Amino acid sequence: MPLRKPKILVVDDEADALYSFRRIFERSDYVIIEAQTGRDAIEKARSESPDVILLDLRMPGMDGLAALREIRALDPRTPVILVTAYASTQSTIEAMKAGAFDYVIKPFDVENIRSVVQAAVKVSLDMRQVVSYEPLLSKEKHEEEIVGSSEPMQEVYKLIGRLANSDLPVLITGESGTGKELVARAVYHHSRRKHRPFLAVNCAAIPENLLEGELFGYHKGAFTGATAAKPGKFEVCDGGTIFLDEIAEMPASTQGKLLRVLETGEIEKLGSTRATKVDVRVLAATNKNLTDLIEAGKFRQDLYYRLRVVEIPLPPLRERLSDIPTLVRYFLDRHAPEFGHKRVTVDEAAMAVLMRHNYPGNVRELENLLKNSLLRLKGNVIRAEDLDLGRPAAQPADTMAADQTLRLADDSIFDALFDEIARRQPLPEGYDAFDVVERRLIHRALQYWKGNQSKAAKFLGITRNTLRKRVKKYGLRIEPNVVEEQD
Ligand SMILES: Nc1ncnc2c1ncn2[C@@H]1O[C@H](COP(=O)(O)OP(=O)(O)OP(=O)(O)O)[C@@H](O)[C@H]1O
Ligand SMILES: [Mg+2]
């Protein structure tokens, strides 16, 4: 979670366009800076180090494409989002090839532009917020740390250190919430590719039939819905590092293509038979047991061997209880300000409870538990009764329920929503957090299926009628290819 406001540089020669951007983002947690020419954009990209750049392609004088090339040369990590009237024009295609992160189409679709910007900010912060792993050495508050000096964690640090000068693929394994994503970013930040791009792709979050296109790109017309050519993550990330999270969820055909990249450095776009060379280092993570999946015929053994040249296994929190006090201190310092607290401590009894718990959701569970206490805390000391462990740790939980707590504790989308709801405390009259979830989900599904209600309803497992009612309730307006919010 960013501790400073991300900075967005918006470049457009038209004052009207700049005005709409400002309106779309004015109430959000971003700092907006503006430029009206390509030259000015390059200057500001240099002097202001924005986290994300929104760049109009058509401008008098130096056009967006030329500006993009210079900005990329300055720092290839800054995600640049193109603003264009048509996705399929030659200049947009050229710009995507030149390494643009994504594009948005004019006139703006508010929700879409927000989500593209949000994704780009995440990518940018992943690269800029350095994850350090020497416990407690870095006092820099804005940077992230892998905390814990227990013996199993020391082994993890040693491995990250040993990898610093290598381009080998790395497989990060461990239960949910043990810090795999954090470690992947630390590997990147301590590698010789740290000045090159880093992209995380969550294989479980992208529908199976689209993952391949996302990763390797596609040509126009390669499948229904491919209205314009798009480069894949591997191309966008050329020279850098790609992090394939939840790799166990990758469908078999995509696994085959990934194996090919690892073996030959070549990708093949959908709708093409020509191979393109890319130079990308692959990091992967999973909380599944891949050998079980291989036995079940769900994961390719050859790919497994390629990926696990180096494996970093992360120990579950219950096997490194000695890290708990340091983690507690770290999370309290990190999150107290968000909830309007200064320095918060835990008393002895609370610490004893924390040390006794067995953490099926690992470090994430501990972090959420503390955030939850901070949210409700009066004063500045957390006592045992302020800790909501869900169910007593000592009681044998029935598996089904335990499974469900785990799933909830797991899901980072819930973390984001939880934070959002926490920020709005006390909630305005009539605010229902469940509506927020539902609305987002429906919007996302409609956007994904390009406004096709039947497909979106089927995808969500609800009837078209239910969908229609919700669409009305939340004031979502649907047109083919466009989903807009109605103000
Ligand atoms: N050792 C650690 N020090 C500090 N923070 C940690 C540590 N381990 C995990 N975290 C924090 O816990 C949360 C969960 O970590 P992360 O997302 O890396 O888990 P994960 O192993 O990828 O889980 P999943 O398998 O569910 O995706 C994050 O907020 C992360 O910053
Ligand atoms: Mg993860």
pLDDT digits (tens, 9 = 90+) for 334-346: 999 989 999 999 9
- Atom index in ligand 1 nearest the CA of residue 184 equals 18
271's enclosing H/E stretch is: none
Mutate to test the pocket of ligand 1, among 182, 318, 328 (most ligand atoms within 8 A of CB): 182
332's enclosing H/E stretch is: helix 324-335
Whether residue 405 has pLDDT greater than 80: no
> What SS3 state is found at 107?
coil
Mean pLDDT of 133-160: 78
- Atom index in ligand 1 nearest the CA of residue 183 equals 18
Range 433-485 classified under CATH 2.60.40.650: no
| Of 248, 147, 246, 144, the residue nearest 188 (C-alpha) | 144
Joined tokens for residue 90: 């030659």
What whole-number distance in Å separates Cα of residue 147 and Cα of residue 328? 10
Range 131-313 classified under CATH 3.40.50.300: yes
Mean pLDDT of 383-404: 54
Joined tokens for residue 233: 């993550």
pLDDT digits (tens, 9 = 90+) for 300-336: 999 999 999 999 999 999 999 999 999 999 999 999 9
One-letter amino acid of 420: E
What whole-number distance in Å separates Cα of residue 109 and Cα of residue 477? 11
Identify which has the larger pLDDT, 395 or 266.
Answer: 266
- Exposure b/e, 450-469, CB count within 10 A at least 16 = b: bbbbeebbebbebeeeebee
What is the 419 CA–ligand 2 centroid distance (Å)?
Answer: 18
Using CB distances shorter than 6 Å, the residues near ligand 1 are 145-148, 174, 176-182, 287, 330, 363-364, 367, 410
Backbone phi, then psi, for 476, in 5-degree steps? Answer: -90, 135
For the chain, the structural domain boundaries read: 7-123, 131-313, 317-423, 433-485
CATH of 317-423, one of 1.10.8.60, 3.40.630.30, 1.10.3720.10, 3.40.228.10: 1.10.8.60
pLDDT digits (tens, 9 = 90+) for 205-241: 888 888 999 999 988 888 877 778 888 999 989 999 9
Residue nearest to atom 5 of ligand 1 (CA): 146
pLDDT interval class at 420 (50, 70, 90): low
Domains 7-123 and 131-313 are alike in CATH topology: yes
Range 7-123 classified under CATH 3.90.1150.10: no
Give the ligand whose atoms come closest to the C-alpha of residue 248: 1
pLDDT digits (tens, 9 = 90+) for 441-480: 888 788 777 778 888 898 898 988 888 888 888 877 665 5
**Is 55:33 a contact under the CB 8 Å cutoff?**
no
What is the 263 CA–ligand 2 centroid distance (Å)?
Answer: 26
